[in-house]
Chain A
Amino acid sequence: MSGIDPVVRQTLSRIGVYVGVCVATVFFALPLLWLVLTPFSKHPSYRATLNGVSLDNFDKLFHNPQLWRSLRNSIYLAGGTAILVIVLAALASYALSRVRIPGRDQLLYALLLLSSIVTGTAAMVPIFLMLYQLNLLDKQFAVVLVLSGGLLPAAVFMLKDFVDSIPRSYEESARVFGASPSQILRHIVLPLIRPGMATVGVWALVQVWGNFLIPFILLSDEKKYPAAVVMYTFYDTGGQPNFALISTFALVYSVPVVVLYLIVNKRYGFSFQGGIKG
């Protein structure tokens, strides 16, 4: 490689990067074409074409009684779960990272594996029966608890990496200055693992936002259904998928999550460079 002129090499690699990014962009965008075209199409079908442009579909959607209610429910469920998971996982990962409890690693891996059972369909009957016994059916906060339980192991797993990579010297210095463990956690550790918490938060939010089975099984009042469940009800009178509503709703459904991600990215961002704060 040393024989090639550095400028040529730079240009070639730059072109390579541009081409790569273009290919990747097309790769992700192409299937999304249907989502972008169909809501604006006069006769939405399963094809990705514009059959005459109109905003009728949005009009129909906004008049649908379930739209805003389900989005509110989704925000409550997803937001609630994300916050709960971030808080509990931050506490737990810090404790588990700094203090050596025997069997800790094995426990974490075991919990991680069990979480894959509970997010599957086979567990829905035990979960339903358990909540029935606890009299927690048809309650949204119970759904939050169930979903949080399923997401916590992976969240702790992820956050622990971030906590582990914080140099101990920071905390040692703080100790020397007389800070208590809670203060250390709040002022030193948490700011440093912000990217990790942002990742866990977005991930948890997305998991709950798109979760159909648990809310559907555990909630009976259709007014409590989140958007993911309502999405499944958009059939026309004959039982065929109502493409108009589905595509338009999918677009509207994605907006809150994307907006939230962009905000989180900007503020708590994934571009934080380590260092001691004042």
Chain B
Amino acid sequence: MAAPPTSRPVEAAAVVTRPREDSDVAGLGRWRAGAFAAPALVLVAIFLVFPALWTLYLGLLDYSLGGTTAQSPQYVGLRNFSDALSDPLFTKALYLTLLYVGFSAVLGQNILGFLLAWYFRTAPGWVRVIVNVLVLLAWILPGSVVAFLWQALLDRNNGTLNEILHTTGTAWTIDHPMIVIIIFNIWRGTAFSMLLYSAALSTVPSSHLEVARLAGARPWQQLRDVVLPTIRRHVLTNTLLITLWTFNDFTPFLITGGGPDNESQTLPVFIYKTALLGKQQLGYGSAFSLLLLVANLIIAVIYIRFLRGSKR
């Protein structure tokens, strides 16, 4: 009743679960920890680190899969990088990628995934199953099939969307390419955020929520004061991962092909088209990959700062 709680009675309870500085409570010891981590690290070293470094090294060559440069690639130093950076389409692609990632992933998938996960806690079983299956299907179908799905939906003359909205003749992918691929990516990738947040929410002790509810906190306050602090690191992990993945995602190519006149050409699509279609200039493509990596690194650093700043 009456006045909403201005204090935060539940925060004290939440603090207990926040871990102290990393401590070896199980008595693992350096060596055993090393042994536990070793299999993963070895696998990663061989099958990930090595090819990745090799790929980056290719960025320094004018290496291609066919043609004379396949037989004897020359060391070209930083020329691939300067070529890439001086290409006017590069900056445009970078800008479009930031839009794409920001709206479809950081905002779209994140928020929608969380809302769905939050809703599922109290939703009736059959609703949960149906929505789960739909969201999941959007995620697991292969890219080629998804391209057909969206072609059927957005086709100018025969598309489902135009039939429903009675707007036959509207060429969605040509007139509004960025909006289309942003919505497309939200549709495509929300499943992962939904999955991760469901798991994350299940780690929130219901006792804390009970306490908050009894203290008169309304749902959005429970959310703010109990849930979000508890799953803070999950939120940041999810955001970091989906940012990284969306940054490298070239599925929009299947829908708009880079858009009419490069209007929806995000960086991964740009890389795919210039370096990997036709005569595959892998050296150029690798240089791009490194630039993409640098962009991701900058974003990762921003996130890490955010994470460290939140450890009060």
Chain A residues in the interface with B (C-beta under 8 A): 2, 17, 20-21, 24-25, 27-35, 46-48, 88-89, 91-92, 94-101, 105, 109, 111-123, 125-127, 130, 145-146, 148-150, 152-154, 156-158, 161-162, 164-165, 167-168, 171-172, 174-175, 181, 184-185, 195-196, 198-199, 202-203, 206, 209-210, 212, 228, 231-232, 241, 243, 246-247, 250, 253-254, 257-258, 261-262, 265, 269-275
State how many angstroms separate the Cβ of B151 from the closest Cβ of chain A: 6
* Interface residues of A, dominant DSSP: helix
- B69 interface contact, C-beta 8 A: no
Given A94-B36, A116-B248, does the pair A203, B148 have CB atoms closer than 8 Å?
no
Cβ-defined contact, B22 with A146, below 8 A: no
- In the assembly, what is the distance between CA of A100 and CA of B23, in Å? 7
* Interface residues of B, dominant DSSP: helix
What are the residues of chain B within 8 A of A89 when measuring CB–CB? 40
What are the residues of chain B within 8 A of A115 when measuring CB–CB? 48, 52
- Chain B residue with minimal CB distance to A84? B43
What are the residues of chain A within 8 A of B205 when measuring CB–CB? 273-275
- In the assembly, what is the distance between CA of A114 and CA of B123, in Å? 39
What are the residues of chain B within 8 A of A100 when measuring CB–CB? 22, 24
Cβ-defined contact, B132 with A95, below 8 A: no
Cβ-defined contact, B25 with A31, below 8 A: no
Given A122-B58, A153-B44, does the pair A161, B187 have CB atoms closer than 8 Å?
no
Cβ-defined contact, A92 with B40, below 8 A: yes
Q: Which of chain B's residues 179-234 have a Cβ closer than 8 Å to chain A? A: 187, 192, 195-196, 198-203, 205-206, 230, 233-234
What are the residues of chain B within 8 A of A98 when measuring CB–CB? 22-26, 28, 33
Partner of A164, one of B39, B65, B139, B233: B233
- B126 interface contact, C-beta 8 A: no
What are the residues of chain B within 8 A of A112 when measuring CB–CB? 241, 244, 300
- In the assembly, what is the distance between CA of A125 and CA of B141, in Å? 26
- In the assembly, what is the distance between CA of A185 and CA of B26, in Å? 9
What are the residues of chain B within 8 A of A262 when measuring CB–CB? 129, 132-133
State how many angstroms separate the Cβ of B216 from the closest Cβ of chain A: 12
- In the assembly, what is the distance between CA of A246 and CA of B32, in Å? 50
What are the residues of chain B within 8 A of A246 when measuring CB–CB? 144-145, 148
What are the residues of chain A within 8 A of B140 when measuring CB–CB? 206, 209-210, 254, 257-258
Q: Which of chain B's residues 42-61 have a Cβ closer than 8 Å to chain A? A: 43-44, 46-56, 58
Known: A130-B51, A165-B19, A181-B28. 17 other contacts (CB 8 A): A21-B119, A31-B153, A32-B149, A46-B148, A91-B36, A92-B40, A105-B304, A121-B272, A121-B285, A146-B47, A156-B40, A158-B196, A175-B27, A184-B26, A203-B195, A261-B136, A274-B203
Given A32-B137, A196-B199, A241-B148, does the pair A47, B158 have CB atoms closer than 8 Å?
yes
List 12 A–B pairs whose Cβ atoms lie within 8 Å, in order of A's numbering: A32-B138, A96-B37, A105-B304, A109-B304, A121-B272, A121-B285, A127-B51, A130-B50, A157-B237, A175-B26, A210-B141, A212-B142
- B84 interface contact, C-beta 8 A: no
State how many angstroms separate the Cβ of B143 from the closest Cβ of chain A: 8
Given A28-B134, A161-B237, does the pair A231, B142 have CB atoms closer than 8 Å?
yes
- B245 interface contact, C-beta 8 A: yes
Pairs of residues from A and B, 7 with the lowest C-beta to C-beta distance, nearest first: A149-B47, A195-B199, A95-B36, A270-B198, A92-B40, A99-B33, A126-B54
- In the assembly, what is the distance between CA of A119 and CA of B20, in Å? 36
What are the residues of chain A within 8 A of B19 when measuring CB–CB? 164-165, 167-168
What are the residues of chain A within 8 A of B297 when measuring CB–CB? 113
What are the residues of chain B within 8 A of A146 when measuring CB–CB? 47
What are the residues of chain B within 8 A of A118 when measuring CB–CB? 47-48, 51-52, 55
What are the residues of chain A within 8 A of B286 when measuring CB–CB? 122
- B296 interface contact, C-beta 8 A: yes
- In the assembly, what is the distance between CA of A156 and CA of B39, in Å? 12
- In the assembly, what is the distance between CA of A212 and CA of B205, in Å? 40
Given A126-B54, A164-B233, does the pair A31, B138 have CB atoms closer than 8 Å?
yes
Given A88-B40, A162-B203, A241-B148, does the pair A203, B192 have CB atoms closer than 8 Å?
yes
- In the assembly, what is the distance between CA of A168 and CA of B143, in Å? 43
What are the residues of chain A within 8 A of B296 when measuring CB–CB? 113, 116
What are the residues of chain A within 8 A of B160 when measuring CB–CB? 30, 33-34, 48
Cβ-defined contact, B134 with A32, below 8 A: yes
State how many angstroms separate the Cβ of B112 from the closest Cβ of chain A: 7
